[in-house]
Amino acid sequence: MNTVLPSLSRVKCLMRHLPVDFAIGMAFNVGVAMILTYLMHMGGGFWENLVFSMCVGSLALLFIDGGRLILWKLNFPPRLPFLALVMISIPTAKVLGNMIAISILGLPEKNAGAHTIGKNGTEFLIITFLISAAIIWFFRTRAKLSMLAACAETEKACTAATEKQAMQAQLQMLQAQIEPHMLFNTLANLQGLITIDPVRAQHMLDQLILYLRATLSSSRAEKTTLSHEFALMEAYLGLMSVRMGARLSYTLQLPAALRDVHVLPMLLQPLVENAFKHGLEPNIAGGRIDVTAAEQQGMLTLAVADTGLGLDAPLRPGQSADGLDGSHVGLSNVRERLQAMYGGRASLSLSGNTPSGVIAQLAIPMPS
């Protein structure tokens, strides 16, 4: 895994942790002063040991972190060179820190006691090295964990972007399956009408051209508005009315407040086409289709209700129980698109209509 973060992110991370790191370093320095005073009985009292500990410990952290930034900038340092930096920084901080502490306390050099390189000086140097090493290990481990967490977030964002691209490709693939399905059915009807009713065939062709013009602008769009979706359905229903004549009646009800709501394109057409193919067209008397939109408790509901044969109609050859034919488009296509876009937050349900027919209802989250 690459542990080198982008410079801007690393700087922000460093600035965010700087106050906490400083406070932890000061706490370590106080702990060292307490160990020297009350456990090892070295130095000239707690206050004197605290001044020496603060000077030596702060310089050690400054030299090590400053050297790390100079040598490796914001990258994670290699282990052996970093250990060499620590070995050089601690004795240097020990000598300079002692000099500063003696100056602050106003102590003569000969009274610096165990803090100087003299009596007990080696022991104190070893203690300083061990405490400083513990501090550096703590900060190094903490920094590594922070960088690994940042890398994990970066990988998570990249994975999310890849999944989004895959989902968009899947949506476009599923959407593309709808348009040829509808087009092939219409062309097949035109072929049958040309010989028996040329005038009606010409009218159907004109309606088809209007419909294709209406779909051109949004056929490959990721989202569309409800007003445009209902306009497409009006063109589609106009096309179907030529085909079914007096056997078909329909209404479209779209509240003004929902006209600009964004939805996936071509969601309604499979529902309307399914109502024709499996409800109204096999019914000798024809029937009615009502397309409505409403908002209920933060959910957008789109319903296509027909008065056709209903859910209890006998299955035709090649047709499955959910009203699909062998081409596997229609309702299953809508469900796959909803799953790809919304997961479990959206649904498609079928229920019986009164006195006959089917109500297909979509429920999707309202866009924020």
Question: Which residue(s) pair with 295 in the sheet?
Answer: 300
- At residue 326 the predicted structure's pLDDT band, cuts being 50, 70 and 90, is very low
Main-chain phi, psi angles of 2, to 5 degrees: -80, 120
- DSSP, collapsed to helix, strand or coil, labels residue 116 as coil
**What is the spatial distance between Cα 367 and Cα 300, in angstroms, rounded to a whole number?**
9
CA distances from residue 229 to 44, 84, 142, 263, 328 in whole angstroms, order as listed: 85, 69, 54, 9, 23
Residue partners of 219: CB distance under 8 A and separation at least 6: 175, 179, 265, 266
C-alpha to C-alpha distance for 117 and 128, rounded to whole angstroms? 12
pLDDT of 144 reads 66
Tokens of 212: 């294709």
Q: Show me where the domains of the chain are located.
A: 7-159, 197-365
Q: What is the CA radius of gyration of the chain?
A: 38
pLDDT over 90 at 306, yes or no: yes
Backbone phi, psi, residue 31, to 5°: -60, -40
Tens of pLDDT, residues 235-259: 888 888 887 888 899 999 999 999 9
Parallel, antiparallel, or unpaired for β 248-253 and 287-296? parallel
pLDDT digits (tens, 9 = 90+) for 118-150: 445 566 566 666 666 666 666 666 666 666 666
Buried b (16+ CB within 10 A) or exposed e, 312-335: ebeeeeeeeeebbbeeebbbbbbb
pLDDT digits (tens, 9 = 90+) for 167-189: 555 555 555 555 566 677 778 87
Longest dimension (CA), the chain: 121
Note the pLDDT tens digit of each residue in 13-37. 555 555 666 777 788 788 878 887 8
Q: Looking at residue 257, what is its pLDDT?
A: 93
Residues 212, 232: Cα–Cα separation, whole Å:
9
Query: Residue written as tokens 């060179």?
Result: 81
CA distance 91 to 14: 26
pLDDT at 1: 43
Q: How confident is the model at residue 114 (pLDDT cuts 50, 70, 90)?
A: very low
Distance of alpha carbon 31 from alpha carbon 37, whole angstroms: 10
197-365 CATH choice from 3.40.50.10860, 3.40.630.30, 3.30.565.10, 3.40.710.10:
3.30.565.10
* Closest among 32, 50, 29, 42 to 116, alpha carbons compared: 42
